[in-house]
Structure 1
Amino acid sequence: MPDSPQVLDQASRFGSIRIPPGQPCPISPSSMRSGTPVMRYQEHSSTVDGAAWTMIWDCTRSTFDWYYEFDEVVVILEGSVRVTDCHGRTHTLNVGDAGYFPCGTTWFWEVDNYVRKVAFCHNPIPRGLRLLVRIARRLAREVQIRTEKLRRCVHRMADWLRRVARIGRATAASVMLFGIPL
């Protein structure tokens, strides 16, 4: 059963990815190989548990090593970049291309002029905890669904009691008006 809008705790988020990001995203000097890039980012959205998020990122001409502390899928929105893995395999990403960078890997980035991407990021759950996390999420979802059903039931009961109270008041008023003993 899909969650109803009332069950969801987080509002949806919409925005333009055409607007350049505004917050500085400095890179460690030890990661820089050449250039003095201007790097910026703007977080777009994140999941309730904070394990996944979306952001826009851009960078000017430079070369650098980038260590991925989380899984990241990128889609190039503007410009291009060459990325090289630790085995020396190079891939060129142009507008519309997508790439996946696994957590724990380092990639060499070569930005000839400018690149802007949307990044879908995810903090992976350690293998030994995945089953426990799935069980916990399922239990939380069940509690949420049952809580929503209970809330609806309480509202229905309160509505019914209000109607009964109105009938009771109307009956009491009739008795007083007509002097009918109960």
Structure 2
Amino acid sequence: MLSLAEAEYCNVDDLNPAPIEPTWIIEGDPEARARLLWRSACKTSSTVIWSCTGGKFNWYYDLDETIIILEGSVVLESEGMPPKRYGIGDVIYFRTGARAKWHVEGYVRKLAFLRLNNPFPFGIAIRAVNKLKKVARTSQPSRLT
């Protein structure tokens, strides 16, 4: 039987080095660390905890990414968007293909939810299959009785 939930303690000291691409660094010597917490069976989505020390750098998103700032702050700017400071509790969404300039003010730690953005027709097919699975599950008698 599959577990409905999984839990794991993650100490910031347990994060592994995750160097920022050197050509992306604009200023300072930011040191990033990360740890994969979870990955879907199909490997199209994952949850990561990430931290970084002070510095300025560019970031290019090849996946959809939703983050929540857990500690510290960051100033983000992007084309067509003036610089804006984000801090603890702020949630930010980056679409696949987005580019942002990060200015980490001392230290930041975030929880990131990453997802491969499937082409529209493929997404419809996935939703249809999931709907059929749900209908099949609800039509089966419960084994808990």
Normalising by structure 2, we get a TM-score of 0.83
* Aligned partner of 2:38 among 45, 54, 70: 45
Distance 1:86 1:39 in 2: 24
**Would you tell me which structure has more strand in proportion to its own residues?**
2
* Aligned partner of 2:123 among 105, 130, 139: 130
* Aligned partner of 2:50 among 39, 42, 57: 57
Distance 2:63 2:126 in 1: 18
1:120 paired residue number: 113
Please list every run of 5 or more consecutive structure 2 residues that lacks an aligned counterpart in the other structure: none
Higher relative contact order (CA 8 A, sep 6+): 2
* Aligned partner of 1:103 among 81, 89, 96: 96
1:22-101 mapped onto 2 (5 Å cutoff): 22-101=15-94
Secondary structure in 1 matching 2:122: helix
Distance 1:101 1:70 in 2: 8
User: Percent identity between the aligned chains?
Assistant: 29
Distance 1:124 1:10 in 2: 27
Distance 2:51 2:58 in 1: 15
Q: Is the 8 A contact 1:75 1:119 kept in 2?
A: yes
Bigger Rg, which one: 1
- Count of aligned pairs: 141
Normalising by structure 1, we get a TM-score of 0.68
* Cα RMSD, aligned residues only: 2.3
